[in-house]
Structure 1
Amino acid sequence: MGSVSMSSLVYFICCISLVSGMVEPRCIERERDALLRLKNGFVDPYGLLSSWSDHTSSQDCCLWRGVGCSNRTGHVTMLDLHGYFSDDLDAVVKLSGDINSSLLDLNHLSYLDLSFNSFTRIPAFVGSLSKLRHLNLSAIYFEVPDVPSQLGNLSNLMLLDLSYSPVVVDNIEWLYKLSSLEYINFNAVDLSESSNVLENMITRFPSLVELHLGSCLIPISSASSSNLFSRTNFSKVLSVIDLSSNDLPSSMIYPWLFNFSNSLTDINLSFNELNDTISEAFGSFTSLQKLDLTNNSLAGSIMTSFGNFSSLKLLYLGSNNLKQDLLSFFHILEPAQKSLQVLDLSSNELFGSLPDFTNFIALKELHLEDNEMKGTFPERFERVSNLVILDLADNQITGLLPDLSAVSSLQELYFERNRLRGSLADKIMPLFELQMLGASANLLNGTISEIHLSNLSNLVYLDLAYNFLVFDIDPDWSPTFSLDVMSFSSCKLGPSFPIWLQSQKNFSILDISDTQINDSVPDWFWDQLTPNLRYLNLSYNQIHGIIPDLMYGNYPFIDLRSNNFYGLVPLFPSTTKILVLRDNMFSGSISFLCSLIEIFRLDLSINQLSGELPDCWMNLTGLYYLNLESNSISGKIPTSMGSLLFMAMLSLRSNKLTGELPSSLKNCTMLVLLDVGENSLSGRIPAWIGTSLTLLRALSLTSSGFHGAIPKSLCRLSSLQILDLSVNNLSGTIPTCIGNFKGMTNETIAYPFFGQTGLGLARTRLTNINRDTYPFEAFLQWKGRKLAYSNTLGLATTLDLSSNNLNGSIPVDITNLTGLVALNLSRNNLSSQIPQDIGSLRWLDFLDLSRNHLDGGIPTSLSELTNFGFLDLSYNNLSGRIPTSTQLQSFNASSYTGNPALCGLPLLNTCPGDSVPRNPTPTVESDDIRYQDKFITRGFFICLSIGLASGFWGFFGALILSNSWRRTYMKFLEHVTDWIYVKIAVNYNRLLRRS
Structure 2
Amino acid sequence: MNHLSKDAPGAENLFRCLKQLRFLDVSTNNLTGSISGWLEDLSSVSHLDISKNLFSEKVPESIGKLSNLSYLDLSSNALEGELSEIHFDHLSGLDFLSLGSNNLKIVIVPKWMPPFQLRGLSLHACKIGPHFPTWLRSQSKIEMIDLGSSEIMGKLPNWLWNFSSSVTSFDLSNNKIIGRLPISLRHMNTLKVFNMRSNQLAGGIPDLPASVQVLDLSTNKLSGPLPQDLEAKEIYDLLLPDNFLSGRIPTYLCRMAFMEVIILSNNYFSVSRLHTIDFSRNNLHGEIPSTLGSITSLAILTLRENNLSGNLPISLQSCNALSLLDLSRNNLFGVLPTWIGDSQQSLIYLSLSSNRFSGEIPWQLSQLHALQILDLSGNNLSGPLPLSLGNLTAMRLHNDLQANGGTYSIFKFTTIYDGSLPQVSMYIGADGSAGGILLLTFAFNSIDLSNNHLTGEIPKEIGALSFLLNLNLSGNHIDGSILEEIGNLGSLEALDLSWNDLSGPIPSRLTNLTSLAFLNLSYNDLSGVIPSLVQFATFDETFYETSYLGNPNLCGPPLHKRCLQHMIKHQHKIDMETYLCAIAGFAYGLFVVSAILLLSSTARKAYFQFTDSMLDEFRTAVAIKLNRIKVGRGQSMENRLVCSQNSITCYELEFRSPA
Q: Greater RCO between the two (CA within 8 Å, min separation 6)?
A: 2
The alignment's TM-score, normalised by the length of structure 2, stands at 0.47
Greater strand content: 2
The alignment's TM-score, normalised by the length of structure 1, stands at 0.32
Which structure has the greater CA radius of gyration?
Answer: 2
